[in-house]
Amino acid sequence: MEDPKLSQTRTPSTVSKSKKNKKKKGGKGKANGETAKPNGAHVEAEDGNEQDDAEEEEQGSRTPTEPPSSPRKSEAGHHPLTNGISKRPTGVPDRSGEVSPEENHDAEEEASGSKDTLVAGFKPPIDTIATSFTDTDARLEALSKEREALREEVAQVRRSLEEIKEKHDEELSSMREQLSETQVEKEQAESQYRGLLGKINTIKSQLGERLKADAEDLSQARSRIEDLEEQCGDLREQNEARAVELATMAEEAEQRSKELSSLRNRTTLSQQNWSKERDDLIQREAFAREEFEAAKQAMQDWEVLAMEERSIRESIAERSADLEEQVANYREAHERAASERDSQSLTVDGLQRALQEIQEARRRELREMVENSQSQVESLQKQLREVESRATEATSSLESTKQELERALPFEKEVKEKNLLIGKLRHEAVILNDHLTKALRYLKKGKPEDTIDKQLVTNHFLHFLALERADPKKFQVLQIIASLLAWTDEQREQAGLARPGASNPNLRVPISPWHRTPSTPALSTDFFPEGGTRKESLAELWSGFLEQEAQEATQAHRPIVISGPSGSGKSTILTRLFKDHPDTFGFSVSHTTRNPRSGEQDGREYNFINQETFLKLVDDAGFIEHAKFGSNYYGTSVKAVKSVAETGRICVLDIEMEGVKQVKKTDLNARFLFLSPPSLEILEQRLRGRGTDSEDAVRQRLEQAKNEMAFGKEEGVWDKVVVNNELDKAYIEVEEWIVDGGRHGSQA
Ligand SMILES: Nc1ncnc2c1ncn2[C@@H]1O[C@H](COP(=O)(O)OP(=O)(O)OP(=O)(O)O)[C@@H](O)[C@H]1O
């Protein structure tokens, strides 16, 4: 490649040729010694070849018609001889050491121009030639010096030019090398770039796909969350409605129980009234019966009277017949004695009238008596009917009351149980409070044996008596009493708190079976760590007692951790369990950093905390599991689970493998149940059958299920493993293990 600077400075071919010719000629010019000039003037050729070269170049570059003038110099207005030397020669390198080709050319031109001017201006008059000859010599000398200097300069310039050219060539070649290296590097870089571009494109496409899949998952998760939130809202509403219903039912139950008690009162009242009435009626019936008997008697009497009357009548008739006979006799006698007859007829009439009157009176009397007794019988019958109808009414009302009673019986039972429980709890709370205050007071006083509280001892004693014989608490209470009363070893032995002979090391008798009842803990090991004979302070005994009570309470409500692959049936079984045992289980309240919505209450729907507190809890391992949805954190805290047990309910945690490991690290004392599907194939069928997951999600769940199944087989992790083959059987197995007939595995 050609250097542009060099190409620019290149002279026409004629000049180069002449240069070459000159070089070829070598000392030819020198031999001639002078060179012909166009204007015929000539000067001695002292400057040698280089000057000739310059001149020839100058000439070669000009056209023949062109005058050999130096317009620049005349323009500049300087005298070529005086000013031309002081001026920096244009071909001399400037401070930077570079000489431009134009300057070089100008220098050459200048050099030849000054010579030409000198030749052209050399027209002195003849007479002055002699006088100025010496001047001319001097000038010529100066000129020749100047020329020498110029020549040196030109030579220098040439050298520097060559150096520059060499440098240039070197630089050029190195640059070319660099260029080729750079090109090679460029090609390598290009190929690398293409490779990288290809990789980036593949990553881009893969990322795009993944992003798409993630976005899909995200949108599904979002929609699911929305659905769940909706469901949650619905459930909450239902819950509230249920709560309202429950409240109204409770009110109704209360009303019913009130009604029931009033009904019962009324029933007892009506029963009392009824029994009274019945007694009355029985009395009246007896009275009526008596009256009836009396009436009967009267009737019989009347009949007797009637019979008597009849007999009287008959006797009267007989007598009347006799009388008629007598009358006839009388008549006969009347005939015989007229006076006697009148008196006799008068007597008979009187007798007959008296008889009729008697008969009438008797009849009236009897009629009245019969009428009276009939009306009495009728009224009695009426009363009897009334009593009977009232009795049937009372029986029917009794029946309905009984029915109502039966209906209200479960409520009543429940209310009774609850009341009993409340009463018991209250009682226990009062006693505990009492004990606690007393114990604290004693603790403060320091010497419990000096200040024995009768009430406290009485309470303990009553508690002792109220407990069943086999109840292990009995011994604890007795131990407290013994401690309060500062019993001696003998007294303890007598009370059965120490083994017989324990106070006397020489006397050892076998332990009585009383100490070996299965439900009785060995006092010397369980409750009193260093043997029953050791005298402990009340504070120690009391705190031990309370601790054991608390442990027993929490033991009965240990949290349940249920885990298993997605689709193994955890939700199905738990839903049924919660439905069948509504008062047994409780739910832990989660923590969240989101703001509460309207109607939500701190500690009810969520524990609302800020992000800083949440993250601190995470650092302190306060969460069993936590996650971030959107910009909010959610988590189940260890404390929330513990507090469920404190309310007397069991907290059930449906969590995956990592959560189980996390719970194992806490002091929750949970029970672990693994619910396993019969096989992975059946699990796949159930997951697909459920129809809640996309194909991708099902695949992911199945993949994770393999890990979970392996975890389910790990030794020492699980307290119970249930295979969910037949739902009913699996449910019963889970229920029996969790609820355990109300013992909730506290014996486990
Ligand atoms: N023994 C069973 N026989 C047949 N189908 C069952 C059985 N147990 C559960 N299923 C069904 O399997 C599906 C998955 O059950 P479920 O949703 O209860 O599983 P899960 O363990 O709670 O899943 P996830 O952890 O994803 O919530 C449900 O459609 C359920 O009806």
Which residue has its alpha carbon closest to ligand 1 atom 18? 569
Ligand 1: residues within 6 Å at CB?
A: 564, 566-572, 686, 689-690, 724, 726-727, 730
pLDDT at res. 477: 81
Angle between helices 454-466 and 473-484 (to 10 degrees): 160
pLDDT at res. 677: 97
661 CA to centre of ligand 1 in angstroms: 23
pLDDT at res. 125: 55
683 CA to centre of ligand 1 in angstroms: 8
644 CA to centre of ligand 1 in angstroms: 26
CATH of 560-595+605-742, one of 4.10.220.20, 3.40.50.300, 2.60.40.1180, 3.40.50.10490: 3.40.50.300
Residue 611: Cβ within 10 Å count = 11
For the chain, list residues with pLDDT below 70.
Answer: 1-132, 320, 323, 327, 330-331, 333-334, 337-338, 340-341, 344, 439-453, 499-547, 549-554, 746-748
633 CA to centre of ligand 1 in angstroms: 28
Give the residues across from 654 on adjacent strands: 562
pLDDT at res. 374: 84
pLDDT at res. 731: 96
Residue 274: Cβ within 10 Å count = 20
Among 220, 690, 731, say which to mutate for ligand 1: greatest number of ligand atoms within 8 Å of CB. Answer: 690
Residues with Cβ < 8 Å from 54, sequence gap 6 or more?
108, 111, 112, 154
d(CA 520, CA 508): 21
Which residue has its alpha carbon closest to ligand 1 atom 28? 690
Complete edge-to-edge strand list for the sheet that includes strand 632-637: 607-608, 591-592, 632-637, 623-629
Q: How is residue 329 written in tokens?
A: 């006799």
Q: Using the atom order of ligand 1, give the atom closest to the CA of residue 727.
A: 1
pLDDT at res. 26: 38
Picking from 39, 31, 27, 221, the residue whose alpha carbon sits closest to that of residue 117 is 39
Question: What distances in angstroms separate CA 261 from CA 273, 394, 412, 529, one per listed residue?
Answer: 18, 18, 10, 53
Q: How is residue 566 written in tokens?
A: 């997605």
Among 574, 686, 707, 709, say which to mutate for ligand 1: greatest number of ligand atoms within 8 Å of CB. Answer: 686
Q: Using the atom order of ligand 1, give the atom closest to the CA of residue 701.
A: 26
544 CA to centre of ligand 1 in angstroms: 46
